[in-house]
Structure 1
Amino acid sequence: MAVCVAVIGKDNSPLYIGGIGNDTSTDNELSRQWLVHTALDALEERLATTNSNNATASANAARTDLRDLYLGLLYSTDTHKIYGYVTNTKIKLVLVTSSTSPSGSNIRDAEVRTALRRLHALYADAICNPFHLPGDQIISQKFDRQVKSLMVNNV
């Protein structure tokens, strides 16, 4: 089950961090932010590795790697698994799942990939709002509802 979803800007500033659950305490919110920010290190490392591989690979292999924006499992802890996705415009999407729940330990890679692609589509819809300024935090209630629905229903 998904616990937290984050949209991180090009400059590693959080544009949206949303979670589900009844516990909205400050400690829970801080732990979500900590998980997302620690995932950025693994995400940047994975991107650097991908970019260096693309520089040495042939043109066909580079085109294949560029199309696949899903970075897979970034790292896992005793209680969470953190997955990453990067858009063409270098916006980073992070999905945190619980590995302690029975359904959390059986999540397939294809399910996470699909959820992150849907999150990318929701993000694109949210920033297409003419009143949204690029680089600002996403404060749309519609986006928040759709993300929480995605977290509950898909992962």
Structure 2
Amino acid sequence: MAVCVAVIGKDNSPLYIGGVGNDTNTDNELSRQWLVHTALDALEERLATTNTNTANSASNASRTDLRDLYLGLLYSTDTHKIYGYVTNTRIKLVLVTSSTSPSGSNIRDAEVRTALRRLHSLYADAICNPFHLPGEQITSSKFDKQVKNLLLNNV
């Protein structure tokens, strides 16, 4: 079961952090933000590793890895699993799932990959709004509703 999703800008500033469900408790909001921000370290490390591999090797396999935007499982804790995805423009998408629920422990990598690709599509649609300023937080209620619908139905 998905707990939250985040869209992080190029400069590691949060553009959107959305949780699933009606629980808007301040402690839960802070814990979601903490999970997302701790994932940034693992995400940046994975990106640095990918960049050095592609710089040191001119093989086709490393070029294919660079085109693959899905970074997979960044790290897991006792209660959560955190997955990452990076767009070509270095916008980072983070998905946090619960590993304590029965459905969360059996989540497949293909399901997460599909959900993050759909989130990328929703993000692209949201920033194509002519009234949205690039780099600003996403405040669209339509985007929020679509993200929550995606997470409740797919992950």
Aligning the two structures, in what range does the TM-score lie when normalised by the shorter sequence? over 0.9
Task: Give the match's secondary structure for 1:120.
Answer: helix
User: Contact between 2:85 and 2:92, CA under 8 Å: does it hold in 1?
Assistant: yes
Q: Which residue of 2 aligns with 1:90?
A: 90
Q: Which residue of 1 aligns with 2:56?
A: 56
User: Contact between 2:7 and 2:92, CA under 8 Å: does it hold in 1?
Assistant: yes
Question: In the comparison of the two structures, how many residue pairs are matched?
Answer: 155
Q: Percent identity?
A: 88
Give structure 1 regions of 4+ aligned residues with deviation exceeding 6 angstroms.
none
User: Contact between 2:74 and 2:82, CA under 8 Å: does it hold in 1?
Assistant: yes
After TM superposition, the structure 1 = structure 2 runs for residues 38-57 of structure 1, keeping only pairs within 5 Å, are 38-57=38-57
Task: Give the match's secondary structure for 2:72.
Answer: strand
- Measured in 2, the distance between the counterparts of 1:67 and 1:46 equals 14
Q: Which residue of 2 aligns with 1:27?
A: 27
User: Contact between 2:80 and 2:97, CA under 8 Å: does it hold in 1?
Assistant: yes
Q: Which residue of 2 aligns with 1:127?
A: 127
- Measured in 2, the distance between the counterparts of 1:77 and 1:42 equals 13
- Measured in 1, the distance between the counterparts of 2:113 and 2:74 equals 13
After TM superposition, the structure 1 = structure 2 runs for residues 81-120 of structure 1, keeping only pairs within 5 Å, are 81-120=81-120
Q: Which residue of 1 aligns with 2:76?
A: 76
After TM superposition, give the deviation of residue 59 of structure 1 in Å.
4.5
In angstroms, what is the RMSD of aligned CA positions?
0.8
- Measured in 2, the distance between the counterparts of 1:66 and 1:84 equals 14
Moved more, 103-112 or 58-67: 58-67
Where structure 2 has 5 or more consecutive residues not aligned to the other structure, the ranges are none
